[in-house]
């Protein structure tokens, strides 16, 4: 079952799939929020939603990033940031096993999108179908430049649906599997169809 698209903002990865949330579900206290960098993650990620964050999560990630002097174009206001974005934690596959990947989703999109924990989704950077934010303001453009999109591939519990897919990070154009952190192509990685995201090959030899 293939479903609609939702926009995500910024890409963050965390070492290890989160199973016990505690007061730091996105790893900000001990793993620096595992931000991949000061900008949009450029590759496709196939993963399972493990947590839909709240205002407190969003503010925590924002404060850590600003402490690193990232996201300078954004308004310096954690509450405003939380009103615009919502963190979403995905479980995906890294070169050494399961890992986690967090995206910050536009709050307006979240309000209209039927996302559920356990859904299989695809993250990717924005394409030509999403060329600009809804509002032409400096703040809107600042958030927009961190934004990617997520597409729900399968609903939670639909085992038959998920069979053709493989968790991981892939090049947007070629579908070759890459290291989530470095973006380097994995020598023995999988290859997916970059259009429907289904596995073509489990080895690139």
The band of 42, judged by pLDDT with boundaries at 50, 70 and 90, is confident
Q: Which stretches does DSSP call E strand in 107-192?
A: 120-125, 147-154, 168-170, 177-178, 191-192
191 occurs within a structural domain: no
CA distance 34 to 181: 10
- Would you state the pLDDT for residue 129? 67
186, part of any domain: no
Residue 44 lies in a domain: yes
Structural domain includes residue 183: no
Secondary structure (3-state) at 34 = helix
Residue 40: per-residue pLDDT: 80
Q: Is residue 178 part of a domain?
A: no
In a domain, 128, yes or no: yes
For residue range 150-200, list pLDDT tens digits in order: 789 999 999 999 999 999 999 999 999 999 989 999 998 999 999 999 999
Q: How many domains is the chain partitioned into structurally?
A: 1
SS3 178: strand
Q: Is residue 154 part of a domain?
A: yes
Choose among 46, 39, 41: nearest CA to 150.
46
What is the domain range of residue 134?
Answer: 5-158
Answer yes or no: is pLDDT of 16 > 50. Answer: no
Residue 152 lies in a domain: yes
User: How many DSSP H helices and E strands does the chain contain?
Assistant: 6, 10
The per-residue pLDDT of the chain, averaged, comes to: 82
CA distance 169 to 37: 16
Neighbours of 130 (CB within 10 A): 14
């Amino acid at each position: 079952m293939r479903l609609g698209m939702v926009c995500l903002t910024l890409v963050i990865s965390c070492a290890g799939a989160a199973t016990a949330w505690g007061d730091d579900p996105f790893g900000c206290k001990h793993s620096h929020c595992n931000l991949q960098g000061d900008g949009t993650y450029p590759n496709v990620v196939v993963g399972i939603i493990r947590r839909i964050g709240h205002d407190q999560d969003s503010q925590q990630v924002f404060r850590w990033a600003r402490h690193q002097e990232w996201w300078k174009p954004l308004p310096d206001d954690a509450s405003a940031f939380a009103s615009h974005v919502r963190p979403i934690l995905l479980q995906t596959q890294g070169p050494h096993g399961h890992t986690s990947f967090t995206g910050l989703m536009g709050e307006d999109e979240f309000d209209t999108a039927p996302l559920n924990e356990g859904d299989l989704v695809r993250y990717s950077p924005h394409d030509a179908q999403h060329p600009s934010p809804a509002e032409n303001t400096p703040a809107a453009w600042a958030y927009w430049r961190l934004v990617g999109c997520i597409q729900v591939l399968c609903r939670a519990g639909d085992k038959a649906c998920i069979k053709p897919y493989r968790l991981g990070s892939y090049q947007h154009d070629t579908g070759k599997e890459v290291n989530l952190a470095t973006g380097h192509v994995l020598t023995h990685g999988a290859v997916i169809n970059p259009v429907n995201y289904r596995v073509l090959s489990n080895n690139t030899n």
